[in-house]
């Protein structure tokens, strides 16, 4: 008899705790604003924590953010600039050294590297250039020394080394 009484008590407790599924509780505008503010604050804390471990990390303001992104060094010079589409990098992204010279130019399509990629030395000379297709190296990649002289040419197909020139 006791087990049945215990089961009945637990069932009554669950019934009292679970709201009626037919009753929908509407949040007031103030409550919605409060929850949104808490969510944004939590996202900012998470982003700040990640950026402390990796200062070059690029994180959109929220997971579905669409719009321009600019990050700056403490001295006011632009560090990164680009565009997010539904929380993923899209289009041209530029990175800069703290002296203002370009560091890299990369193109994205829905979060995947796709298109030309050019990276520079701090003196402004090209370091290497190549092409990504669906986040994989695909084409001839050319590597340079700090004076601008070609050091190596390599052919990639689907991120696999095909040929060295």
Q: Taking all residues of the chain, what is their mean pLDDT, rounded to a whole number?
A: 81
Q: How confident is the model at residue 60 (pLDDT cuts 50, 70, 90)?
A: confident
Confidence of residue 47 (pLDDT cuts 50, 70, 90): low
Predicted confidence at residue 48, as pLDDT, reads 63
What CA–CA distance (Å, rounded) separates 152 from 145? 9
What are the beta bridge partners of residue 112? 109
Burial class of residue 87 in the structure, from the number of CB atoms within 10 Å of its CB (0-12 exposed, 13-18 middle, 19+ buried): middle
Is it the case that residue 117 has pLDDT exceeding 70? yes
Query: Which among 151, 89, 152, 47 is positioned nearest to 104, based on CA atoms?
Result: 89
How far is residue 17's CA from residue 11's CA, in Å, rounded to a whole number? 10
More confident residue, 27 or 23: 27
* Claim: this prediction has a pTM higher than 0.75: no
10 Å CB burial of residue 76 (0-12, 13-18, 19+) is exposed
Q: How high is the pLDDT of residue 65?
A: 87
Specify whether the CB–CB gap between 143 and 155 falls below 8 A: no
Residue 151 confidence (pLDDT) above 90: yes
Question: Rounded mean pLDDT of 139-143?
Answer: 95
């Amino acid at each position: 008899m006791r087990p049945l009484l215990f089961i009945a008590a637990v069932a009554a407790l669950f019934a009292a705790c679970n709201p009626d599924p037919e009753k929908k509780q509407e949040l007031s505008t103030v409550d919605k604003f409060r929850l949104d503010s808490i969510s944004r604050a939590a996202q900012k804390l998470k982003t700040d924590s990640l950026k402390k471990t990796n200062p070059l990390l690029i994180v959109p303001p929220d997971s579905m953010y669409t719009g321009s992104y600019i990050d700056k060094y403490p001295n006011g010079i632009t560090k990164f600039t680009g565009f997010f589409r539904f929380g993923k990098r899209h289009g041209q992204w530029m990175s800069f050294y703290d002296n203002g010279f370009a560091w890299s130019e990369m193109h994205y399509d829905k979060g995947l590297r796709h298109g030309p990629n050019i990276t520079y030395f701090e003196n402004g000379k090209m370091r290497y250039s190549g092409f990504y297709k669906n986040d994989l190296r695909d084409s001839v990649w050319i590597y340079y020394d700090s004076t601008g002289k070609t050091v190596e040419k390599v052919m990639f197909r689907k991120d696999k080394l095909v040929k060295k020139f």
